[in-house]
Chains A and B, each alone.
Chain A
Amino acid sequence: MRRALFRMCLLLLVLVSVGSCLDELRFYLGSDPKTFNPALVADDASETIRYLTGGVLLRLNRQTQQVEPELAAAWRVSKDGKTITFQLRNGVRFSDGTAFSAQDVKYTMDALMDPALHSPTGDAFRSGPGKLTSVVLTADRISLTFPAPVAGLEKLFDQVAIVSANSPKKEMAALGPFYVADYKPGAYITLRRNPNYWKHDDAGHPLPYLDGVKLEIQANHDIEMLKFSRNEIHLINSMDADYFDRIAQVAPGKVRDAGPSLDSEQMWFNQVPGAPIAAFKLEWFKSRNFRRAVSAAINRSDLCKVVYGGHAVPARGPVSPANKFWFDSQLPQARFDPSYALQLLREDGFRLTAGKLVDRGGHPVEFSIVTNAGNRTRERTATMIQADLRAIGIMVNVVTLDFPSLIQRISENFNYEAALLGMTNVELDPNAQMNVWLSSSDEHQWNPRQKTPATPWEAEIDRLMRAQASALDDKTRKKNFDRVQEIVAEQAPFLYLVNKNALVGVSPILQGVVPVAARPQTYWNIERIRFSAERASNGK
């Protein structure tokens, strides 16, 4: 009995020591993934799993923002923009040993484009009515023909993780650098190195370098920061400026500012006809001069300095300068000029009386800004806007609401005056913003679901967005989308405030981490991340 107990203890000790010797990267997921099926990914956690385990035909390099070959060694898009033909790599196997072939691509794409599946990834390919025609030309060649031209077709394949047609494990058989080895809901997901991963480094060493990744489920950012401070986790993909500065004070080598991210913070006024707000206020909000005046009275540089501790840049428009190709560098910097703001307001009949701005009808200019409660960065932004606008006689009431109430107000009953929120841009292509700019869209926040465009400039934006979406060459698309950005800057339906920087945490014991603005900021090159030699020798 004693001997058996001793053996068990010894075995346990061996297992623990083997576990601690593994090169296992650890970081937190904010929630459980809603699915492991790559076709159904719609949340951040599932996207992380897809990125780490999924093998794709083409990958958008997050650093260069260019499309690069992965499982497809070469590809060609037809002149009409409807057909793409892939030449696949040979000798590639899934994590369970099943061979990869064109049949798997066909299986994946047919499933993805099946309307019954309701795949968000598949929706991006649906540029017109009709079905996808997928033809397996040879075992390593496949041609996919879409019913209508798809703008930016190659980039969309960045999110298409190929699923095996033959493996009994289906989507759990991975072609990416890792596969899911263990999942305990609410606690953790363990990924292990895919032994059949096809990539090698320049020296011929098989990739990935890491033995595994442990993703612990943790929604509390405080705990995430504390664990990171104690070196219990190795990466933080996105952190607030407050946290960043506090960690930078004690361990500057652990945090990095990757420059402007793709995300923006913006405010807008409710322009929905029939919204339950005073008619004279609706008139203010519909006035271009009023919107531009408010924009000119907001000191964006101070927002960057005070709220973001210098880790943000004043926003110029709907596209961040981090988006190298689509950003319109000709857009003017938003100017902070309270006297210009007052001049614009005077043109619309507003006047300052005893330090208070009143409109033509004698109504004092006062409105509320709603934003989500609990987001301190946004609450501070609203407080600073409140102070800036007080300087031109405008009274602003800051109202923080719980998120469901906020969404109900801005999307359903339109019982609000102005809103302050952010836009998270995951994709670089402007097609991803189609739902924001089309006047008929639900996400056209200032006046959604229009039957016909309410203003000529919205009609023009509709036309330009559709034109860029159907154009095949990037030059024409860029020209059209640049014009959209210019109209938005002129009309100011959204007052873009700042583009916050991508602030990340990277443990100094990691090598190969190159933080970038695009998601996933820290582990986009996961197969090339490794622990430093010092750490390996310490056996930590």
Chain B
Amino acid sequence: MRAARTVALVVASLIAMVSLAGSLLPRFEYSRQDREHFSAGPSPDHWLGTDAVGRDRLARLLHGTRVSLSLAPAAAALSLLLAFVAGAAPGFAGGVSERVAKTIIDLVLSIPWLFLLLIVRAMLPLNTSPAASATITFLMLGLLGWGVPARILLARARRLRQSEFVLLARASGLPRWRLLLVHVMPNLLPVLVAQFWIAVPVFILAEANLSLLGLGVAEPLPSLGSLLRELETVLSIRGDVCSFGALIVLVVMVSSLQIAFVKHEVS
């Protein structure tokens, strides 16, 4: 298992480093259009071929991976922070705050977030740079995606509050903040980590869905989500493996991270 984790970590690091290093090379310019060679297969000029408007697929994959791998984890971290505040803290505190938190979480989960995102998009200024639009998209996902982890953290924190070792600690006169930091947090960490690695691919895919509604990362900046749109329709799936590049990177990256980091999940 240790060997598998090491291999996974190496693979994940390799993808991250290659995408970061490659996207910095001027050769891999993601928006340049080679209009004589659009929708082309692999060639010496374009190792993974070109997309429908003649942009180098490899360049877009490198940049897209960098964008998604830097923003999706940030959004996941934000949503978990909110989930911790809205779920874990009240769950540990109990009483009225727990009931209020449960009501708020249920309310948030019942909101049709897609429509909420549409309203938010309608209010945003139109002249937003692609980089800003990417940040806003993932920020919105982070701000709206805390409902489910909050409910899980609340349940977990409540169980911890009622556990015997916490009762013993409280009976020993341990201050609440110390109880939270020393006893509760380490026990919540596996759940937090698991939720984090669940949220990352979910946010990447959510961004792909949002781009269909005009909410995703704006052109010409690529993201893994926007690259997945190449596989949007059954007939748009081409025989060559290059059009599956984004999907392959996503699956390999997420799997590697799951293997490498989600080791304390079972408790």
Contact = CB atoms under 8 A, between A and B. Distances in A.
Nearest to A223: B234
Contact of A243 (B52, B219, B235): B235
A225 B219 contact: no
B54 interface: yes
Contacts of B126: 368, 370, 397, 399, 415-417
Nearest to A397: B127
A13 B218 CA distance: 57
Contact of B53 (A306, A367, A402, A415): A306
Interface string B83-122: 0000000000000000000000000000000000010011
A417 B121 CA distance: 16
Nearest to A221: B233
B38 A306 contact: yes
A408 B122 CA distance: 10
Contact of B128 (A225, A383, A384, A397): A397
Nearest to A302: B35
Contacts of A415: 126
B255 interface: no
Interface in A129-144: none
Interface stretch (A207-215, A374-382, A500-508, A521-529): A374-382
A410 to B, nearest CB: 12
Contact of B129 (A367, A376, A397): A397
Given A397-B128, A401-B121, A307 B53 contact: yes
A153 interface: no
B220 interface: yes
Interface residues of A, number: 35
Contacts of B35: 302, 305-306
B211 to A, nearest CB: 8
A465 to B, nearest CB: 32
Interface string A426-442: 00000000000000000
Contacts of A367: 127
A399 to B, nearest CB: 5
A246 interface: yes
A490 interface: no
A175 B63 CA distance: 62
A484 to B, nearest CB: 31
A226 interface: yes
Contacts of B38: 306
Contacts of A373: 211-214
B33 interface: yes
Contact of B121 (A222, A302, A374, A405): A405
A379 B219 contact: yes
Interface string B226-252: 000000111110000000000000000
Contacts of A222: 233-235
A226 B220 CA distance: 31
A400 interface: yes
A305 B235 CA distance: 20
Contacts of B53: 306-307, 380, 383-384, 387
B235 A380 contact: no
A366 B125 CA distance: 13
Instruction: Give the size category of B's interface with A.
Output: 20 to 34
Contacts of A473: none
A242 to B, nearest CB: 7
Interface in B2-58: 31, 33, 35, 38, 52-54
Contacts of A307: 52-53
B214 A401 contact: yes
Given A246-B235, A397-B126, A399-B126, A383 B220 contact: yes
B31 A402 contact: no
Interface string B201-217: 00000000001111000
A398 B235 contact: no
Given A243-B235, A373-B212, A386 B127 contact: no
Interface in A147-176: none
Contacts of B219: 379, 382-383, 386, 398
A376 B212 CA distance: 9
A373 B53 CA distance: 17
A390 to B, nearest CB: 8
Q: Is the interface of A mostly helix, strand, loop or mixed?
A: helix
A246 B238 CA distance: 9
Given A384-B33, A386-B219, A306 B52 contact: yes
A366 B127 CA distance: 8
A226 B234 CA distance: 9
Contact of B212 (A302, A374, A416): A374
A222 B211 CA distance: 19
Interface string A206-244: 000000000000000010011000000000000000110
Given A397-B126, A400-B214, A225 B235 contact: yes
Contacts of A305: 35
Nearest to A278: B127
Q: Give the one of A370, A401, A416 with max B CB within 10 A.
A: A401
Contacts of A226: 234-235
Given A380-B53, A383-B53, A402 B213 contact: yes
B214 A242 contact: no
Nearest to B55: A383
Nearest to A400: B214
Nearest to A242: B236
A243 B236 CA distance: 8
A380 B214 contact: no
A116 B240 CA distance: 59
Contacts of A306: 33, 35, 38, 52-54
Nearest to A301: B35
B223 to A, nearest CB: 14
A68 to B, nearest CB: 38
Interface string A383-423: 11011000000000111111001001000000111000000
Interface in B162-182: none
Interface in A337-387: 366-368, 370, 373-374, 376, 379-380, 382-384, 386-387
B127 to A, nearest CB: 5
Nearest to B124: A399
Contacts of A417: 126-127
A371 to B, nearest CB: 9
Given A225-B235, A367-B127, A401-B121, A386 B214 contact: no
Nearest to B236: A242
Contacts of B236: 242
Q: Give the one of A246, A305, A399 with max B CB within 10 A.
A: A399
The 3 closest A-B pairs by CB, nearest first: A400-B214, A373-B214, A368-B126
29 contacts: A222-B233, A225-B234, A225-B235, A226-B234, A226-B235, A242-B52, A242-B235, A243-B235, A246-B235, A306-B52, A306-B53, A307-B52, A307-B53, A373-B211, A373-B212, A374-B212, A376-B52, A380-B53, A383-B53, A383-B220, A397-B128, A397-B218, A398-B219, A400-B211, A401-B122, A402-B118, A405-B214, A415-B126, A416-B126
Interface of B: 31, 33, 35, 38, 52-54, 118, 121-122, 126-130, 211-214, 218-220, 232-236
Given A370-B126, A402-B213, 9 more contacts: A226-B234, A226-B235, A305-B35, A382-B219, A384-B53, A397-B128, A402-B214, A405-B121, A417-B126
